[in-house]
Amino acid sequence: MSNRILSLLSVMALAGTAAAEVSYEFVPNFITPPPGKETIGDGHGEIAVDSAGNIYVSVQDKDPALAGLQVYGKDGKFIKTLPLPPSLHGFVIRKFGDGEHIYAAVLGEQKVIKCKLDGTVVMEIPTSAFPAEQRDFVTVSKSDEADPKKKTPIASGVKVADSKTEITLKLADGTEKKITKEKGVGAAGGLKLTNCDVAPNGDIYVVDGYGRSFIFVFSADGKFKSVFGGPDQILSPSDAEKPLALLNAHKIFIDRRFEPARVMICDRGHKRMLHTDLAGNFIGEIATEMRNPSSASFHGDLMCVAEIAGNVSVWDKANKRVADLGTSPALTNTPGIEPKDWKQGIVTSPHGITFDNDGNILETEWNKWGRVLRWNVKQ
């Protein structure tokens, strides 16, 4: 890429950030894929940096040489792949008294794992540890014979029994409903865990982002404590024209910029970000009318956000947007943009994001081939 284009990209970032005196410069081709590979592999996960500056990227590729948690050095060169589940949709790296660990939501297995930086799993929160009211909530539907993809809902509730001939649901009013398993009848639902983070006291927060957007709280040793959010708890300003509950709360993070810390929620279905306190009480909206916020990271008073519809944004502690990076001219939200169509410094579908220890930004995309972009903060 020509120096002229790179300079233009830097100027574009600076234009939106002059007031806050923060600007970034795009770094082309920062990541060196694993040996013999042209790209890092199918990406639908997260990116994070440990205290030593090493970079971790989750990859769900079918190639076992790529799948798992890839580790890169500070220089972007491949080091190794940790043999962790390929469906690590969201993860963070946090350091407490017992050392530095990876906390991850395993979407394909609906569990949370805590592991050392070498990939050794030291704790697991299994599916069975989640409350039945959310874990076993399903919708029973019947498929259309002519068009199996078309489904007509029959009832929704907590599945309490499932035999060869019928499904029994506990409904919202406490009654039970038995549904005969005739042709085309089936149940779908349950947990779809997408991310987790850790509060200052060690409590682990987990979000059911592809399910019903509940946020679960577990103790540091994995014992269930409480749950909030979901489709029924209103989390919007009291004077809102349309009260909102969470919808596709894609990822959550503990925002330690504040004391006490807060829960920052990427409410992607409503194109907004919001804060609650650690008990789940609404504090306020951070921003609305976004390009579908999908992930976030913090450094000092700044927060960077991956917006899956084609943008990376940077916000200050006062909820002011201070930079936009890599903005796609058109809205995006697809994993199918091929490498030949990638444009240097322009995002496709940002899915995960992190600051490194120096305040530089790394973003990973929802992309079948896998892509990581980097912007360095200008000193």
Q: What is the pLDDT of residues 135-155, one digit of tens each?
A: 999 999 999 988 988 999 999
For residues 269 and 283, give the distance between their C-alpha atoms in angstroms, rounded to a whole number: 19
- pLDDT > 60? residue 12: no
Q: What is the DSSP letter of 98?
A: T
> Edge-to-edge strand order for the sheet containing 24-27?
24-27, 372-377, 361-365, 350-355
The answer to whether residues 139 and 190 touch, using CB atoms and an 8 Å cutoff, is no
For residues 6 and 256, give the distance between their C-alpha atoms in angstroms, rounded to a whole number: 34
Mean pLDDT of 238-249: 96
Residue ranges of domains in the chain: 3-129+191-377, 137-189
Residue 3: the pLDDT is 42
pLDDT in tens, 350-363: 999 999 999 999 99
Q: What is the dihedral of CA 174, 205, 103, 54, to 10 degrees?
A: 150
Write the burial class of residue 15 (CB in 10 Å: 0-12 exposed, 13-18 middle, 19+ buried). Answer: exposed
275 C-beta neighbours (distance < 10 Å), count: 18
Is the domain 137-189 a CATH 3.30.1300 member?
A: no
Residue 305: the pLDDT is 99
pLDDT in tens, 67-84: 999 999 999 999 999 999
User: What would be the CATH architecture of the domain defined by 3-129+191-377?
Assistant: 6 Propeller (2.120)
pLDDT in tens, 100-142: 999 999 999 999 999 999 999 999 999 999 999 999 999 999 9
pLDDT in tens, 84-103: 999 999 999 999 999 999 99
- pLDDT > 50? residue 337: yes
137-189 shares the fold of 3-129+191-377:
no
Please tell me the pTM assigned to this model.
0.93
- pLDDT > 80? residue 260: yes
